[in-house]
Amino acid sequence: MPAPAGSALEARLTRAWLRRGPLACALWPVSLLFRALSGVRAALFRAGVLQSTRLPVPVVVVGNIFIGGTGKTPLTIWLVQALQAAGLRPGVISRGHGSKDTAPRLVDGHATAAQVGDEPLLIWQRCACPVMVGRDRAATGQALLALHPEINILLTDDGLQHYALQRDVEIILFDGRGAGNGWLLPAGPLREPVSRRRDVTVINAPQLSSGLLASVGASHGEAQPGTGLPEATYQMVLAGDYAEQLCDRQQRTTLAELAARPALRIAAAAGIGNPARFFGMLKAAGLQVQELPLPDHHDFLDRPFAALEADLILMTEKDAVKCAQIEELRDDPRLWVVPVSARIDAALAAQIVEKCRGRSFA
């Protein structure tokens, strides 16, 4: 089954951004203008010409400068759970991709992915913490704190370039693509230069080479004990060991058990920023799958599985939150969800708490 046109175009652009080929070189002058404008905007916020809001609790931004998906949602889920384990009471704010609401909206059991976005809904389901979406992140944070005054640290899923909200910790996340060709939009994949300041660098990749570290600007500084990585740099690995049937989440099988059944026709669908990462994880588990890459935040109303000849279709949790709200899909016994968890050095959570120590945890 061919990939949808949107996904194919996205993949073509991403490939162009990984090298300095003819298309990237032709767009390079435009990227200089983009860099100048974004730099001026950031400078105006730093100088106080453009106003920003400081909330009464520490704010941690999880974001990226590489356009598209690098794994922010799994990292946010890991951070929430790690901070909860440390005795803190985190809340999460997000733009809520696809939400048409401009005012802040609380994520709860009645919310749909169309109303609040697939990622905030997934975070709420996995973490059982207060989550709110809204276009203005400062106003959204204020609204969430008003409803949940017990929150004493706030995470914002994405929003690195949303300077109207002041932050205490900035985490920049990259994946195995590094910084691509190193150029800003539209000649490359970057929203801001690699030289942009950050408190923490996280790289979502199974192997970290010196070239990858240098690409993302994380090759300097003293090595952290026991990791060999430069200071304030952490490796994140996404892992999934089992699958659950969408129509009955009590039905579970391991990926190893599926790999031991070569006669089973297995497809894999992924409507995330980098579908290849999900497919690669399944292949690493020994599965041979028919790949169906979909555009990020795909809504599944076009019934992409109708003509798919497969005994079993594996999907990400982010896609599952939408499919579970479509009657035809949530009852399809072929659909199975692969929960994925981030694995990171626990020292990251301790470092965030330490960086926020100068501010009072309410």
Binding residues for ATP: 66-73
Contact 323, 335 (CB under 8 A): yes
d(CA 261, CA 247): 22
Query: In the structure encoding, which two tokens stand for residue 254, read together?
Result: 């391991």
d(CA 202, CA 193): 16
CA-wise closest residue to 268 among 281, 249, 257, 256: 281
d(CA 88, CA 81): 10
Give the residue ranges of the annotated binding site: 66-73
Query: In the structure encoding, which two tokens stand for residue 266, read together?
Result: 């297995």
Q: What is the CA radius of gyration of the chain?
A: 20
Residues in the chain: 362
Strand order, beta sheet including 248-254: 248-254, 242-245, 335-338, 312-316, 266-270, 290-293
d(CA 155, CA 168): 10
Tokens 């060991």 belong to which residue? Answer: 241
CA-wise closest residue to 180 among 23, 287, 7: 23
